[in-house]
Amino acid sequence: MTPCACGSGQPLADCCAPLHAGTPAETPEALMRSRYSAYVLDLRDYLLTTWHPSTRPASLPAAEPGLRWLGLEVRRSTMTDADHGTVEFVARSKLGGRANRMHETSRFVREDGRWFYLDGEFNQ
């Protein structure tokens, strides 16, 4: 049993893997967690597919060699309305012996029953 990288405490097969395989996320937080685990697993196609077309980049670079994702902390998850939500999180990583911390508040939108990452604002 491989634990899911998103920090849910569930096995990957029961957590983010179904979303990676095409099952729609039920909430913005579920999508954000699946995107974090996709970064850990270097699933760039999934990251692009779940990025809203209005803000999606043309491509994503490969992960830096030696990059290790260390954990995810969801600080806050809120719904603005039925089709809009935000998730504040901290993702930790290590590269070349140096620890990194990304603190972001991400915005999500639901269209045609599917959640998409829209954009994010970095926090201090």
Domains, the chain, ranges and CATH? Answer: 12-122 (3.10.450.50)
* pLDDT for position 9: 94
Query: Across the strands, what pairs with 87?
Result: 77, 106
Reported as a single tens digit per residue, the pLDDT across 48-74 is 999 999 999 999 998 899 999 999 999
Buried b (16+ CB within 10 A) or exposed e, 41-79: bebeebbeebbeeeebeeeeeebeeeeebeebebeebee
Write down the pLDDT at residue 79: 98
Confidence class for position 112, pLDDT limits 50, 70, 90 = very high
How do 84-95 and 98-111 pair as beta strands? Answer: antiparallel
pTM comes to 0.95
pLDDT computed for residue 1 by the predictor: 85
**Tokens found for residue 25:** 């996320």
